[in-house]
Every structure is written in structure tokens, then in C-alpha cells.
Structure 1
Amino acid sequence: MTPEFSAKLERYRAEMVRRGIPCDVIEQWLAAALPCATLTIDGEGPVVGHFGGPLLLPPKAPDPEFPFLARLRCADLPERVTGLALPPDGHLLLFAFPDLDGGGEVVHVPEGAVVEQRASASEYYDEEEDALEIVEQYPRGELHMISGVSLPFHTSKETAAADDRRSEDHPWAPYADVHWDLWDLDGTALSPGGRLQLGGHGVEASTGMDPVAAAALTSDETYDPGDWKLLAGWYPRIEGREGFSLHWAIRRQELSARRFDRTNESLHWNP
């Protein structure tokens, strides 16, 4: 736990007390907090990557299905901040299109790998009528990182297999609508380019389900919350895609094996 984590946890506690949330609920809620890194183009933290820029991939890597979003330096994303055991070097490349028929991809390019410049999913623009207009609004610029605290704002948890799925409310379910105010305490909710979050819990504006569980259940019949982690979440500020979020989830063993092609995605749009 970093000093920044402890300080922000106390700020959240004070806001929850101010809101009149019962003490036992506050303690259970804060006990579920995870570290995360928030990346924005207008922050004051260290630069750890870029929104946009040239797309550089190894010659034998397949062309991406979705447009290029961001390039992140793994060495600048320590586990104590993100809660993720990322590769010690190289870059993570994120690809995404913000639409319920869209999706995302993650590629790790090792340090020292031979790369070539590619077009950013040009075929995708031909297939999606408004794709070019949307992608032209993608943020561009250096990504600054601040360490943060991530609380679960989903109100329920999945407790059974997909063919007999059951849900159970978390103790904080009646109070989860405070999440916008807590985001504002960090000053990252309204970043002009939107924001990326690495690690922690995913946040969706109008659903009670954990975005990580939603991603995992896209291909799995069962979901073990201890087996999956949020790799990244994208919360864009794009005209025509207000209220959109995309979350990449990955199994712990796939993260350890650097199998980023095994990520699952969940998409949510609350216009």
C-alpha cells in the first residue's frame, strides 16, 4: 500500500461519513478497495505512454481488428501502483472502438523487438459507417499517471454458473450512486481526453454487474472472481459516445504467461 493509496482511502472515508453511510458499510466497502493507476493527458504525474502516435508492431504480428488507442511503457507501470504483474519491459498497445458492436485488443511488444509502422485498422473504417468520424476524436498526447484507489461500485456479485446464474447484493448497494462524487475527489472524472484505468475495479454508470465478471462471462460458463483481474478500462470523452466504457479483463494465469491475446472485453453504453 503506497502513501498515496492510504491518503486517498481516508479522503473517501471522510466523504462517505459526510454522506451518512453506515460505519459498518464503509468499512466493508473500503476493505474491498484495490490500487489502480489513472492515466490522463492533463495530469501532473510521470509520463508513462501516449494516446495515439505511430502504430509500431512486429512484422509477423497480425493486423489489429480495431483502431489504435494507446501505447504504454510497462517498466513505468509498477505493480505497487497498478496491482498488476505486468511484463517488466516492452510496451502494451491498446486497440478499441467505442460501440456496442465494437471491442478491443491488447498486444505486448517486447523491448528490443523489430517493429514496423502499420496503418491503424483502415479496413474497419470501411465497414463501420461512422468509424472514421469517431476515431478522429480519439485523444492524442502524453499520458500522465497518478496512483489511485479503486472501489467496487457494482452492486451485485455473480455466485453461480452461467446456466444457473444467481446474484447477491453487496452491502454498499444502496449507496453506490456516490461514485461520481468520489471520482471527482481525484479530479480525473472530467479529463478532456477521457481516461484510462489500469487495475482496480471497473466502473459502469448504470449496471449493477461487475464489468470484470461481464467480460469473463462472454466466453466462460463459470466465473471465479479470484481468477480474473481488470487489466484496463477506457472511459472516453467523445461526442456521440457519451457514457461509454470498455473494460479488458484477463485471468491471472494468462497475465503471468503474457497471453494478452486471451483478454476478454465488456462494453457498456449509457447515452
Structure 2
Amino acid sequence: MVHVPVGTHVSQRDKHAWNAHEYEEWDREFGTLFEGYPEGELRARAEVSLPCHTSVFPAGQQLMVDIPGHPLCDDLVEAWQETRGGIVRGGEMQVGGFADEEDVDVDPVDVAVRTAVYAAERGDWQWPVSDDPADWVLLADWYASGLRRREGSTLHWVIQREDLIARRFERTFTTFAWNP
């Protein structure tokens, strides 16, 4: 997904730059998988999006905690998981809303923020990064069901709210999760 405003100067960049992992073999393997994934038509529709997580990483902390102020969060997530199949027609790509990921308790946006902070500390991310998940928003997530031997794979595109407002989409940060 790319948005290029009229009159914007563009240049080619490393299409694998989103990956903050240090493992070259891992990079090559997933690069090959992504290159071989079939492209298809993308159609939009409005659907319900509710949180499917029960924990957060507070800004600057290493350990996750239950979502503050939501003592019934587990019950709400369980109820949503049981009923959403009859309400939402699942798809592979979701734009906006709440991030979803198979078998995780923490908000995938929180994980992306922690990964962006780590990438910035390593020098792999050149722009300012807030460590507060409240400063970030989900642009899209993609449940890559068609990746052979990578079932349960999800990509999340997140962006800081101020960058979204300013349409600085080059500052979109991407994470990849795989639950074998």
C-alpha cells in the first residue's frame, strides 16, 4: 500500500528495510516468500473492529501489564472472539481499526512501537520515535494466509499520529509476526 501525494519527490529504497532483525538467513528466507506471494485485487468494505488483546506495554517499561482500568477485558475479548465470526467477514487485509494477531495477549501496535524504538536505538530508523503507544496508530494489518509454511503470519503497518496527520508515510513502520 503506497500513498504518494501529487508533486512529491520519490526515490527507491530498500524494500526490506522494515526488518529490524539481525539474521541474514531469516531475511533471505522471508524475502523469497514475500517475492513469491501472489498479488491480487484489493476491495474495501466497512467492518467492525474491536480490540483482541488484554495487555499493554506501558511507555518505557519492559514488562506487559493488564490494560489499566479494564477489569473485565479478558471477558470482553473472549465474548468478541466467540461472536465476531457471525458479525465480521474475515479478510486478509484490514485498513485502520484495531490490530489483530493470532495468539497474542498484547496489542500488536505496542509490539511495533517497541520494535521501532529498538530499531532507532540501533540506528536502523532515522526518524524520531515516541515510546508511547498512544502516539501511534495502526495503518493496516495483513493476515498472510497464502504464505505456504507460514500460516499464522501477520504484518502490521503502524505510524505515529503526527506523521499520519502530516502525511509522512515514509515513516510508516512495519512488523512481522509468525505463530507456527
TM-score (norm 1): 0.48
Q: 2:48 aligns with which of 128, 149, 153?
A: 149
Q: Following the alignment from structure 1 to structure 2, what is the Cα–Cα distance between the partners of residues 246 and 130?
A: 12
Q: Following the alignment from structure 1 to structure 2, what is the Cα–Cα distance between the partners of residues 228 and 245?
A: 18
Q: 1:168 aligns with which of 53, 66, 70?
A: 66
Q: Following the alignment from structure 1 to structure 2, what is the Cα–Cα distance between the partners of residues 182 and 131?
A: 33
Gaps of 5+ in 2: 2-7, 118-128
The letter of the residue matching 1:228 is W
What is the CA RMSD across the aligned residues, in angstroms?
3.4
Kindly state the Cα deviation for residue 173 of structure 1 after the two structures are TM-superposed: 1.5
Q: 1:132 aligns with which of 17, 25, 32?
A: 32
Other structure's SS at 1:150 match: coil
Moved more, 258-267 or 195-204: 258-267
Partner of 1:73: none
Kindly state the Cα deviation for residue 270 of structure 1 after the two structures are TM-superposed: 0.8
Change (3 A) 1:264 1:63: closer
Q: Following the alignment from structure 2 to structure 1, what is the Cα–Cα distance between the partners of residues 30 and 105?
A: 30
Identity %: 32
Q: Following the alignment from structure 2 to structure 1, what is the Cα–Cα distance between the partners of residues 28 and 55?
A: 34
Partner of 2:94: 197
Q: Is the 8 A contact 1:202 1:210 kept in 2?
A: yes
The C-alpha deviation readout for 1:81-117, integer Å capped at 9, x for no partner, is xxxxxxxxxxxxxx988xx959xxxxxxxxxxxxxxx
Q: Following the alignment from structure 1 to structure 2, what is the Cα–Cα distance between the partners of residues 133 and 159?
A: 34
Partner of 1:185: 87
Kindly state the Cα deviation for residue 129 of structure 1 after the two structures are TM-superposed: 4.3
Other structure's SS at 1:152 match: coil
Q: Is the 8 A contact 1:162 1:217 kept in 2?
A: no
Partner of 2:166: 257
Q: Which has the higher contact order (CA 8 A, sep 6+)?
A: 1
Matched pairs, number: 156
Q: Following the alignment from structure 2 to structure 1, what is the Cα–Cα distance between the partners of residues 88 and 112?
A: 26
TM-score (norm 2): 0.69
Q: 1:216 aligns with which of 96, 110, 113?
A: 113
Kindly state the Cα deviation for residue 187 of structure 1 after the two structures are TM-superposed: 2.4
Gaps of 5+ in 1: 1-48, 50-57, 67-94, 103-123, 190-194
Greater fraction of residues in strand: 1
